Amino acid sequence: MAKKIVYVDEPTCIGCTLCTQVCPKVFEMNDDGKSYAKTQDDTEENIQQAIDSCPVNCIIWKQ
Ligand code: SF4
């Protein structure tokens, strides 16, 4: 099975920064105050924790 890739649906992100606190190796705020996945460099569990912390559910796995 192909590795899952995580990405942020930027138009939906409200810029709360929670994901960057839960999983700072992967998520970073860009200049527009939106989060993006700068790497995929963490465990699936930690990334999933960030996904679960997002109040607007805009962090998404892509197969
Ligand atoms: S937790 Fe969700 S809404 Fe908050 S910054 Fe991250 S992607 Fe954006």
DSSP assignment of 1-43 equals -PPPEEEE-TTT-----HHHHH-TTTEEE-TTS-EEES---S-
pTM metric for this prediction: 0.94
Q: Give the per-residue pLDDT at 31.
A: 97
Query: Phi/psi zone of residue 10: left (φ > 0), alpha (ψ -120 to 50 degrees), beta?
Result: alpha
* Distance (Å, whole) CA 17 – CA 32: 12
Measured from CB, residues less than 6 Å from any atom of ligand 1 are 8, 13-19, 35, 53-56, 58-59
Q: Where are the domains of the chain?
A: 5-62
Percent above pLDDT 70 for the chain: 97
Q: What is the pLDDT of residues 46-56, one digit of tens each?
A: 999 999 999 99
Question: Any idea what the Cα angle at residue 56 is, between residues 19 and 22, rounded to 5°?
Answer: 15
Nearest CA to ligand 1 atom 4: 16
Fold of the 5-62 domain:
Alpha-Beta Plaits (3.30.70)
Mean pLDDT for the stretch of residues 40-63: 97
